[in-house]
């Protein structure tokens, strides 16, 4: 009897590279890829660019960059491209069009930074984003593009009630978002605190605002540690989450990540009725959609303060979404379907050239471009950042 040899295919070899490990890296790639590695669908390595070794690059079939915008990213992508490796470039913001009004605007306005991003696109084979707008805008440059589902990184099993009876209202966001709070919510928050007094507690996590100095408000500093951020969000245990969003071309390219995040914490959110929330938030089911007027925001916040049953229904629905649609396994499955559509079977274990010079020049370039943004404060900022990078904390 003739024997039959069973040939088992090896999982695709994926290398995730990043300069610093922030929320974008975690939500756009790491959580999904770790899940796929745990289930045996891929073989995964992930490492900071400054710590990457030739063996890592030679091993990989697919190399993924998230928000690569520096010379070190560009040169690493070039080395991999020239070696015949396949490259996936992920963006969750329109980095080529960051408004100068944002804190990061001066950095991204530099022509050198724009050139790095353009080169990243040139060297990359594939493109992915959680934003349909960005996929439509940049996707045609690549041989394949797809939409990423950002998962709820933290999912509470059950929403805990605040024992004091105070309705806790909060906003969480990066340092760039303070101006949005002041522009969209300032007057609404004045009216809410005047109307309800001690019945409500206003809290802002991650950004500084002018309105926080005018009303009773607790502010919590931004943390670069995503674990610390999640622990703090769990401890704050907000009843109502605020998600204002300006209606601009840049902001329309963003992801509805605040919805996904609030769902994981069982928070009943109020969202600006603009992209990216319009079309994703189910009004009255997974949150409230609100026009960007003071009257509309006051009405929406008042509605959730007064209607505890509605808050609790939205909270329960959100937790269910976080456990299903926005779960890590669901997001990973979607990611895998797109990875399987890529042409990776013929990517070899190609030898990689010397990396030390590229890393050194990338570091010098990073310092110079940061100086353009921060001026005389750059040395202190750079030293702190480098200490964290060397310690592996970012």
pLDDT, tens only, 234-291:
999 999 999 999 999 999 999 999 999 999 999 999 999 999 999 899 999 999 999 9
Do the domains at 12-151+331-391 and 167-326 have one common CATH topology? yes
pLDDT tens, 79-116? 899 888 999 999 999 999 999 988 888 889 999 999 99
Please state, rounded to an integer, the average pLDDT across all residues of the chain: 88
Q: At what angle do helices 71-82 and 356-374 cross, to 10 degrees?
A: 150
Picking from 73, 77, 22, 18, the residue whose alpha carbon sits closest to that of residue 47 is: 18
pLDDT band at 21 (very low <50, low <70, confident <90, very high): confident
What is residue 8's predicted lDDT score, i.e. its pLDDT?
Answer: 45
Q: Where are the domains of the chain?
A: 12-151+331-391, 167-326
Which CATH code of 3.30.413.10, 3.40.50.2000, 2.60.40.10, 3.40.50.300 fits the domain covering 167-326?
3.40.50.2000
Which CATH code of 3.40.190, 2.60.40, 3.40.50, 1.20.1740 fits the domain covering 12-151+331-391?
3.40.50
Residue 1 has pLDDT above 60, yes or no: no
Q: Tell me the HSE value of 39 on the side-chain side, using a 13 A CA sphere.
A: 12
What is residue 345's predicted lDDT score, i.e. its pLDDT?
Answer: 74
Between 19-23, 104-108, 193-197, 345-349, the lowest mean confidence (pLDDT) is in 345-349
What is residue 393's predicted lDDT score, i.e. its pLDDT?
Answer: 46
Provide the 10 A C-beta neighbour count for residue 329. 15
Residue 17, SS3?
strand
DSSP 298-324: HHHHHHHHH-HHHHHHHHHHHHHHHHT
Report which secondary-structure segment, H or E, holds 361.
Answer: helix 356-374
What is residue 272's predicted lDDT score, i.e. its pLDDT?
Answer: 97
Provide the 10 A C-beta neighbour count for residue 170. 22
């Amino acid at each position: 009897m003739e024997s039959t040899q069973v040939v088992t295919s090896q999982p695709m070899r994926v290398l995730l590279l990043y300069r610093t490990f922030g929320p974008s890296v975690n939500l756009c790639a790491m959580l999904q890829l770790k899940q796929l590695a745990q289930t045996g669908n891929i073989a995964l390595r992930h490492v900071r660019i400054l710590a990457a070794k030739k063996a890592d690059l030679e091993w990989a079939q697919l190399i993924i960059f998230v928000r690569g915008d520096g010379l070190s990213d560009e040169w690493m992508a070039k080395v991999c491209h020239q070696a015949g490796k396949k490259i996936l470039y992920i963006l969750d913001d329109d980095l080529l069009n960051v408004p100068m009004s944002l804190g990061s605007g001066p950095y991204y306005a530099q022509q050198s930074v724009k050139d790095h991003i353009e080169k990243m696109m040139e060297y990359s084979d594939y493109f992915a984003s959680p934003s349909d707008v960005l996929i439509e805008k940049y996707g045609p440059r690549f041989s394949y593009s797809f939409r990423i589902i950002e998962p709820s990184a933290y999912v509470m099993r059950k929403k805990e009630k605040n024992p004091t009876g105070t309705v806790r209202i909060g906003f969480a966001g990066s340092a760039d978002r303070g101006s949005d709070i002041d522009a969209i919510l300032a007057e609404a928050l004045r009216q809410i605190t005047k109307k309800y007094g001690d019945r409500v507690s206003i809290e802002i996590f991650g950004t500084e605002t002018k309105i926080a100095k005018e009303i009773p408000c607790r502010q919590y500093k931004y943390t670069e540690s995503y674990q610390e951020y999640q622990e703090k969000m769990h401890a704050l245990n907000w009843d109502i989450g605020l998600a204002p969003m300006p209606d601009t071309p840049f902001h329309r390219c963003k992801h509805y990540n605040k919805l996904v995040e609030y769902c994981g914490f069982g928070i009943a959110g109020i969202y600006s009725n603009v992209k990216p929330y319009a079309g994703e938030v189910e009004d009255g089911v997974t949150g409230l959609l609100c026009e960007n007027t003071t009257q509309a925001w006051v009405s929406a916040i008042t509605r959730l303060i007064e209607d505890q049953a509605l808050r609790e229904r939205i909270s329960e629905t959100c937790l269910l979404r976080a456990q299903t649609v926005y779960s890590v396994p669901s997001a990973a499955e979607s990611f895998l379907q797109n990875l399987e559509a890529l042409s990776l079977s013929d990517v070899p274990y190609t030898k990689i050239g010397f990396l030390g010079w590229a890393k050194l020049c990338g570091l010098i370039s990073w310092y110079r471009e940061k100086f353009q943004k921060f001026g005389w404060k750059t040395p202190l900022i750079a030293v702190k950042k480098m200490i964290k990078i060397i310690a592996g904390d970012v």
